[in-house]
A and B are shown apart, each in its own frame.
Chain A
Amino acid sequence: MKVLNTENLRKNREKGLQSIISGGVRVAVGMGTCGIGNGAEEIYRALKGSPHRTGDVHVVKTGCFGFCAEEPLVNVHIPGKPLVILHRVILKDVPDIIKWVMGGKIPLDKALCRIEEWDHLTGKIIYGRGMEDVPLWDEIPFFKGQDKIVLRNCGLIDPEDITEYAAVGGYSCLQKVLAENKPESVIEEIKKAGLRGRGGAGFPTGIKWELMRQSPGSPKYIICNADEGDPGAYMNRNEIESDPHSLLEGMAIGAFATGASEGIIYVRAEYPLAVKRLRKAVKDAGDCGFLGKSIFGSEFSFIINVVEGAGAFVCGEETALISSLEGKSGRPSPRPPFPAQKGYKGKPTNINNVETWYNITAIISGGWKRFRKTGTGKSPGTKVFSLVGKVANTGLVELPLGMSLSTLVYGIGGGSDKKIKAVQSGGPSGGCIPAELFETPVDYESLAAIGAIMGSGGMVVMDEDNCMVDVAKYFVEFTARESCGKCVPCREGLFRAMEILKNLTAGKGSESDLALLEDLGTVIKDTALCGLGQTGPNPVLTTLKYFMEEYLAHIKGMCPAKVCPELIRYEILEKKCIGYTVCARNCPQNAITGGKKKAHNIIQEKCVKCGICLEVCKFGAVKKI
């Protein structure tokens, strides 16, 4: 068995290297969900089907390199030259790309950046030197300061090809760990590295593993929590879609260290591509003998099951997730007992977030000292953030922990044309951080100190057009809807908070409501059963703390950002209106009067404030007041 697995790994590695760097021209299309949503599928098909393409130009799929705003991205590699990333590729560019690469050249007008060599942490790939007129990848603002540890393979290898993962050193850490056969020293390594759970709470992973190892009972289970339910966060989706094998290898190492024999990946059904690639990866790894019985000839056997969630946010909570796996509604249960003592089917269970698992191989391959070189003393390593909302450069950003929010928003994100007001970090469990506090370092403690949490890493930027009371209402509506209903503070409390916020945004609130809201939030936080309820009031409490003036304005019947429909109205400026009739034709309520070449007028009683008139008028005659 041992010979077979080891031999398999070697063969796979050679084959993968051949396709990555030495097998002719390689054109790789970034096909994560975001790339596909921007037309990558059509581009892939056109490249592949191009009548001018000869056999030495290989068209393959790859994952996402993170710069979602510039999708579709296409990587071109001509042997001996740097890898060049082309951006915003459209269907029309395809014939040119083929023509250029057939001639041994790169279409430079589409080039975003170049990569000369890449450290996959488990192995290095040297593409080639030269082409200095194209900037290096980390010279462009979006990537400057990024440190790709978790995303080390994303967008560079074919996620559906196990040989490419092997080519960058994949499964060699598992092989090494099994050959050494010292599970305790693996745990020691993770402890020394100081890795903390990337799901949000930041519990030290090594200690969690140790508790699990010491816990009596058999069989033991390990679970990957890929139920990424936070709206505004999609790093786990991308990690799985772009590099599924790193997750499997991390889990296998974790299982070996903690004494587990079965792994479960609980992934959202809303991510069909991630599910598909994960299932393929599990099958391929099993076929090659990297999962299954006596892996690499050792006594260690390990299998992985992929389970699809069914659209319940609360299942991201570990006890709810276990309950869901057992075929029940996903309702949390009080801890203790902790899953390490009594988890899935009552057996010792260890649950880690997707991103935590991706760090395992990175730590094992280079040792804890290398890992600690990045990040801060208390929070070593990096965190992947999904930088979205009102910034120029949206995408996935991997930064060393401890960087400031302003680096993230203005440096990498490139700011916005409008005045940025806040960043919402950590989804419905997190808080709104005002621009004045953007010098706050992003780590577990610093964010908690200002009332937000790191959470899974969603960073939604908001500008002056966003109403913070509306944002608070949005999140409470979400958590109230997703509350499982088991404990009273969460079920009733969030519902009441939602009612108060609805009144406020309708201009029907009073100052006493604000005190009540704060009181209610604090009580829910202190008394709810699980993480959902305990953190659910955070968006309300932080907006009350940092954006009180907006709440007060709503009490006075004004929405400063002009978002809340009940507090705004639309009017047609008689002087600017030329009677084009487009607004009247598009008004869903027929609330606009006035004929051709005659000034129009909005009947306020009929208007539902949808704003379509403002959107369709080309003459700037409609005004939001």
Chain B
Amino acid sequence: MPVACKNKRRRSHKLSAARLDRLILRDKDKPGSLLGILEEAQKLNKYKYLPEETLVYIAEKTSVPLSQVYSVVTFYSFFNLQPQGEHTITVCRGTACHTRGSKDILDMIRTGLNIDGDSDESVPVTTEDNKFTVRTVACIGQCALAPVAEIDGKVLSRITREKIRKILKSGYSAEKK
């Protein structure tokens, strides 16, 4: 899946080989191991993405063809091929959230962060200053509290544009979590 990223600085923070090796050794023969290894590698990356060298390394160590590794990371929406922003805002686009106005909330966040309104909403976008990545998720499973969004994994239930506006205005930073 293509990931728009306007950040031109090269951010290649590969994992230490030893860490990855341990991971691969532990999971190699388990079912779904490739997904697990890639997920873990992405989690351990400072910018929550999978740089090319990590993919190459994983392919070599697991003896899975690089083409297959690439096919997997581009198939599943969970994997990022571009560095992610300091904070990630995830807007749930499930049915319950949709009927309760999640599209308006997403649009408002994107407008507020100067993100091109015509781009595909399902493609994660990172702001130029690298502060925020805005992405959508098919459903967080918080449907009774719709509409919901997540900021850095913390679930915000029954959000309104007013609440989001305040959060964005406050210049959301790690200390305010």
Listed in ascending order, the chain A residues whose CB lies under 8 Å from chain B are 33-34, 36-38, 68-69, 71, 228-234, 237-238, 264, 266, 268-272, 305, 307-313, 324-330, 344, 386, 388-390, 394-396, 424, 427, 458, 460, 462, 466, 471, 474-475, 478, 481-482, 484, 586, 588, 608, 610-612, 615-616
Contact = CB atoms under 8 A, between A and B. Distances in A.
B75 A329 contact: yes
A586 B139 CA distance: 29
B93 interface: yes
Contacts of B140: 33, 270
Contact of B144 (A34, A312, A424, A471): A34
A308 B39 contact: yes
Interface of A (DSSP majority class): mixed
A610 B72 contact: no
B107 A324 contact: no
A34 B93 CA distance: 17
B73 to A, nearest CB: 9
Contact of B108 (A238, A478, A610): A610
13 contacts: A68-B144, A68-B145, A71-B144, A232-B143, A264-B31, A307-B32, A310-B79, A327-B32, A329-B71, A394-B145, A427-B95, A460-B95, A460-B143
B141 A310 contact: no
Given A307-B35, A389-B96, A328 B138 contact: no
Given A68-B145, A69-B144, A460-B99, 5 more contacts: A33-B142, A37-B157, A71-B144, A229-B138, A471-B99
A154 B33 CA distance: 31
Interface string B48-91: 00000000000000001000100110011111000000000000
Contacts, number: 172
Contacts of B104: 610-611
Contact of A328 (B71, B93, B137): B71
Contact of B138 (A313, A327, A388, A586): A313
Contacts of A229: 138-139
- Counting contact residues on chain B (CB < 8 A from A), the size range is 35 or more
Contacts of A475: 95
Interface of B: 30-36, 38-39, 64, 68, 71-72, 75-79, 93-100, 104, 107-108, 111-112, 117, 122, 137-146, 148, 153, 155-157, 161-162, 165
B72 A328 contact: yes
Contacts of B72: 327-329
B77 A38 contact: no
B96 A388 contact: yes
A327 B139 contact: no
Nearest to A268: B141
A612 B36 CA distance: 42
A238 B144 CA distance: 12
A233 B139 CA distance: 8
Contacts of B112: 588
A610 B36 contact: no
A348 to B, nearest CB: 15
Contacts of B155: 33, 36-37
B102 to A, nearest CB: 10
B146 A309 contact: no
A475 B107 CA distance: 18
Which of B32, B98, B145, B153 gathers the greatest number of chain A CB atoms within 10 Å? B32
Contact of A309 (B35, B93, B94): B35
Nearest to A266: B32
A305 B76 contact: no
A305 B79 CA distance: 22
B33 A327 contact: yes
Nearest to B162: A615
B95 A458 contact: yes
